[in-house]
Amino acid sequence: MNNDIVNKKFYVIGLNYKKADVITRSNFSLSKEKQEQLLKEAKNLDIISVVILSTCNRIEIMGFAKHPFQLISLLCKYSNGTVEEFAKVSYVHKNSDAAEHLIRIATGIESQILGDYEIVGQLKCAFQLAKKAGTLNAYLERLFNVALQASKETKNKTTLSSGTTTVSYAAIQYIKDNFESYNSKNILIYGLGDIGDSTAKSSVKYLNNNNITVINRTDSKAFKLANEINVKATIHENLNSELQEADIIIVATGASKPTVTAQHLSTQKKQLIIDLSIPRNVANNVESLKDRKVIDVDILSEKTKKTLENRKKQIPLAEEIIQKHKSEFYEWLMFRRSTPAINSLKHSLETIQKDAILGYSKKHQDLNSNHIEDVTSQIVNKIVSKFAMHLKENNSQANQSIRMIKQIFKIEETSEN
């Protein structure tokens, strides 16, 4: 590989829903501004090829570093989490395990709601942000492409996503299962990022309700979506009155502190409040109000178990796809690693060839040196081709073979990270 990753390993450090609850994940969440700052500092610190994935269910940093603590310390610096807290709920993957981890995430097999493909869009955004910041190398670019290919194949060849239990749909299903006469109630959707937008569209599709209102800090976005899906929209100045009137409130804002508090809400009516935000954007004091039910993403995930049982049957097929794409990635990587050794071998053989032809020509002046060079060049190319084929067919022994060739032909060491 390139000299920029000599003595560095590929790491993924992070935490997710499996061990970290929603509050802990909130502490480590990173706004887009913080992500940009982190990427800039990582680049200045010579931490190579860094990508940040910060979603409602996971926060991860991946990149080449001398030690994973370089990535962990950056995460703690730009979030509200501490190293001690991170150590209790985190994971660290290295090299091939880290690469497979990314592929698994892209297929939806590691999502909190099995088969949730919202992660694909989030991965693409993470990739684009890193590309804009100039923190991508060929390794991660290729790995991201492989991960997205695995995701596409999983979606096309399995039913891992059947029933569509995304976070957005899970919220809609909860309303249908737990709120009487939901199709005649006033529904307010506050916040129209990716999840809010998706939830609004799912509401129209599955709730058969003509009393849906959308509201967003940017008014134009709310009115554009309302026109697109035929619901109501209002300006952000009307937020307080809309919160007072709504029977069902879905909060999908992306603020760093609560956007809905007890002071915003009516004390005269029963309300269901679904908080899809990370960090939580519904204040803790809301739950103390009478006739108020607050649901967050952790609770929603528990409500999808029946659908998930059917999806679990598709896991073996998804695992096969993951391993296939992982193997393809490592074939590419091994070829990339072995190319310098193959080129060096060819150069060494060509040097031996030229010395031999020169020495032989001095003794046999009447020989056709051009003809000898043509014939021996074919021999050199066949030897190099045989070596390259050996590396491809014996992937597990490739590093050992490369080391042996380097020793025999006195080839200088190159990085194998």
60 forms beta bridges with 14, 53
94 forms beta bridges with 11
Question: Per residue in 158-191, pLDDT tens?
Answer: 988 876 567 788 899 889 988 889 999 999 999 9
Contact indicator for 190, 241 with CB cutoff of 8 Å: no
pLDDT range class, residue 242, cuts 50, 70, 90: very high
- Which DSSP helix (H) or strand (E) runs through 36? helix 32-44
Q: String of b and e for 293-304 (b: at least 16 CB within 10 Å)?
A: ebbbbeebbebb
- Is 56 designated active site? yes
Question: Per residue in 28-51, pLDDT tens?
Answer: 999 999 999 999 999 999 888 999
E-strand stretches of 254-372: 271-275, 292-296
- Edge to edge, the sheet with strand 58-65 lists 48-54, 58-65, 9-16, 91-94
Q: For every residue of 229-274, which 3-state class applies, written as one string?
A: HCCEECCHHHHHHHHHHCCEEEECCCCCCCCECHHHCCCCCCEEEE
Contact indicator for 161, 308 with CB cutoff of 8 Å: no
Please report the pLDDT score of residue 218 as a whole number.
Answer: 96
Question: Per residue in 297-320, pLDDT tens?
Answer: 888 877 667 777 888 999 999 999
Of 30, 53, 56, 105, which one is the catalytic site residue?
A: 56
Given a cut of 60, whether residue 4 has pLDDT beyond it is no
Q: Domains, the chain, ranges and CATH?
A: 3-162 (3.30.460.30), 167-304 (3.40.50.720), 339-409 (no CATH)
CA-closest candidate to residue 17, choices 83, 156, 150, 114 = 114
Pairwise pLDDT comparison (135 vs 367), residue with the higher score: 135
Bridging pattern class, strands 48-54 and 58-65: antiparallel
Q: Residue 114, Cα to own-chain centre: how many angstroms? A: 15
Count CB-CB contacts under 10 A for residue 356.
Answer: 12
pTM, whole model, 2 decimals? 0.62
